[in-house]
Structure 1
Amino acid sequence: MSEEKKEEEYRLEKDQELRFEVEARATATLELLDGMAEIFGTELTKGKKYLFESCSKVAVYTWHGCVVKISFVTEVAYIADGTPMTVYVNVHAALEQMRQKADEERSRGPRVMVVGPTDVGKSTLCRLLLNYAARLDRASVYVDLDVGQGEVSIPGTIGAAVVERPAEIEEGYSLNAPLVFHYGHTSPSSNYPLFKMLVSRMAECVNKKTEKSKKCNVSGCIINTGGWIKGAGYDSLKHIAGSFEVDVILVLGQERLYSELKRDMPDFVNVILLPKSGGVVERNQHQRSDFRDQRVREYFYGPKKNGDDSFFPHPTEVSYNDIKLYKIGAPALPDSMLPLGMKKEDNKTKLVPLQPGTNILHHVFSVSTAKSIEDAVLECNVYGHVVISGIDPDKLTATVLSPSPEKLPSSILLLMDMQFMDIDM
C-alpha cells in the first residue's frame, strides 16, 4: 500500500534543479508558486497544477530561482546543485548560430545526432534542444530512430515530425502528421537489414521535406538513436550518420564511443562529448517492458487528464477477406538451399503472409499505406496501428481495435512483435 499524499514546498536558487520520481501506481501534482522554471526546456506556468503519472521521472530547472509545491507519493525528491544544463544550453546556442548562418547563406541547417548507451538521457537532451529551438520560432525535424521507445508513434517504429511548438509538460509533443515506418521489433538487432533499409528510406524522406520547406531546412534535424552501440550497433550509428549527412554528433556519457566516432567520422563532422545528467536512472528489463505497454496504451487512449483517459478506441468487426496480414522476415535458409544470386540476409526483408487465427490474438499491427502487395510495402509509411482483439473462426471475422471509428484505410496489416491486452473494454 502506498502512503498518503503529502504537500511539500521547495525553494530553488539560481541554476538549481529539483528532481523527483513518482511512486508506482501513484500520481503527483506540481505547481509553480513563484519565480520562473522549466521542465526539459518547456516553461512552467505560474499557478497551474501539472499532473504526473505513475513512475514519472521529472527535473524542474530554474535559471533565476523559484518556489514550487509538490503533492505526491515519492520514491525520491531532492534539489541538485550540479547539473549539465549550462552545457546543454551552450550546445543549443551553438546550433542556433549554425541556423542563423544557414539562413544568411541559404544553406542547410545543422543535422544533429544524439548517441550513447541506454539510460543516459538521449531522449531528454533531444527534447531540450527541440524545445529551445521551437521557442525561437524554429521548425526542426525530429527523427526518432529508437525503436525500443517510440516517441513519435509507438515502440517498434521509426518516425519523424516537424516540431514547431515546445512540448506540453503533461502530454508531450503536439505532432502534426508525423511520418512513421513499420519496423516491428523493439531492438534494431532483431532485424538489422530491415532497420538499415528503413533508416535510408527515412533519410530520403527528410531530405525531400527540407527541400520543400525553407524553414525546416534552416532549422535542421535532431536525430535520436537507441542504446545499441557495440559491434553491429556501432556500424548502425555510422550508417545513420552517413544516411542523414549529419554535421554534429553529441555523445552522452561514454568516452570510448566518443573516441571511436572521433576517429571514424569525416573531418567536417563535429563530435562532442557531453556529460549525462545526475538525475538519469537506469531501468531494468521489466521497467522497459512496462514503459512500452504504457506507450501503446497511450496511443489508443491518449494521455490521462485529471486521472481520466483522453480518448477511447473503437472495436470493429472485419471479415477475413477484407484484411491481408503479413510479417516481415522469414526463417534463415542454409547456404546450400539459397537460390542462385540470393543473399543470406534477404530473408530478413521478405514479406510472409499470415493466416488469421488465435496466433495473432492481441497482437499490434501497423496499417500500411501500400495499396497492394505489388507496392514496395516495406518502404511505405503507415497510417497508424490497430490491435486484433478478437477472433471468430465460425463467422471468419476478426475484431479490430482502432483509434478511429472509420473503416480501415488499407487492407494490408503488418505484424508487430508486441501484444496489447485491452483490459479497459
Structure 2
Amino acid sequence: MDQLVRADARPPSGLGRFGEYGGRFVPESLVPACDEVERAFAEAWADPAFHAELHHILSVYVGRPTPLTPAARLSAELGITLLLKREDLTHTGSHKINNVTGQALLARRMGKRRLIAETGAGQHGVATATAGALLGMDVTVFMGERDMQRQELNVFRMKMLGAEVIPVTAGSRTLKDACSEAFRHWVTAVEDSYYCLGSALGPHPYPWMVRQFQRVIGDEARAQYAGVMSSATPDFVVACVGGGSNAAGTFAGFLDTPARLIGVEAAGGAAISAGRNGVLHGFVSKVLQDEHGQIEEAHSISAGLDYPGVGPEHAYLADIGRATYVTASDDEVVAATHRLARAEGILCALESAHAVAWVLRAAADGTIPQGATVVLTLSGRGDKDMATLMELS
C-alpha cells in the first residue's frame, strides 16, 4: 500500500510511465508542445494562486462539492448500502467540467487564446465550449460524424456556447477518430492553441494532469463518506471506464485504503480484458488490436465509452492488482438506466449506467456481499441519451 501512496503523491516516473504504460509517442513537431504543457502544469500545480482560482471557479461556477447521495430504495432492494457521487449535478452535467476548468486556466496561464478538444458523447465538448465562453477563448471541437448523429443535443449546446464543431468522417466516425483529428490539428496550431484532452490518456503529461484535475471527485467522496458512515472508507468504489478520467479521479481518493476499486468497461470496448499492449494516441496501454497490430473498432451503446484503449494508469492498476476491471453489456446498461430512474428518480448517462449495471449484477450474485458499502460515481446525467433510449423503447 505504501507504494501506491507514494506513486499517487508524485508524478509518474520517467516520461510519464505508470509501470510499463504511458510515455510519450508523438511526432517530433509535438514534442516541444508536450514539454511546454508539462512544465506549465508542474509550475501551476505547485502555485497556491492557481489552486485558489481553480477552487473558486469549481465552487461558485461548477457547483462543487457535489453531493454523495444515498440510494435508499435501491440499497434496500439489493441488501447493500449504495451511495452515489453525483457528478451529474455539476454545471454542464458531467465530471468533464472539472478537468476542463483546470486545463483552460492552464492554457490561459500559458498565453494561449484557443482551445482544441475531441469529444465522443459530447460532454467534454460542451465543457470545453463552456470554459471557453467563461474565459473568453475560442474553441474548436472535433467529433465523429456518427457521434454527432446520436448526440445532436450536445452538438447544438456546443454551438450555442460559441464553439466550432468539426465533423470527423474517417474510420468509425467515433471518439477514436475525433482524437486522431484533434492531434493532427494541434500540430498545425501549437503556437496559439492548447489541446484540452478530455480523458486520462494521450502523451505525457495528460494522463497525470487529467487525473490530478479529476481527483477532486475521489477526495470529496472519501471525506463525505467518512462524515456520514461509521467506517472510514467503503468496501467498494465503482466507476465506469472508457479512457478512464472519472474512474482515475475517483480511485485517486481511495488508493491508500482497503476499498476494492472496480472499473466497469463496455463489453464491446473492454481494452483491459481483451486488449494487448500497443501505442495509441501517443501512449502505451492496453489496446484493442488484431494479430497484425491494427486497431480494432470498439462498440458501446454509450458514445463516451466507444474507445479501443484505456488510460495507462488503469492498465497499471490492473497489472498490480490494485483495481479490478469488469464489463457490462448494452442490454444490462439499458436495464440499469431504467432501474435507477424508477428506484431513485435519477436519469444517469449511459456511460455511468455501466457502473450501476455491475453493482446490480454483483449484488445479485454475491460478489458484493450483503451489508457491504459501495460508493459509485455517476459521471454524468442522461439528458443526452434520451433519443437513444426512446429508439429502444
Q: Which has the higher strand share?
A: 1
**TM-score w.r.t. structure 2 length?**
0.28
Q: How high is the TM-score relative to the length of structure 1?
A: 0.26
- Higher percent of residues as helix: 2
Tell me which structure has the larger Cα radius of gyration. 1
Between the two structures, name the one with larger relative contact order (CA 8 Å, sep ≥ 6).
2
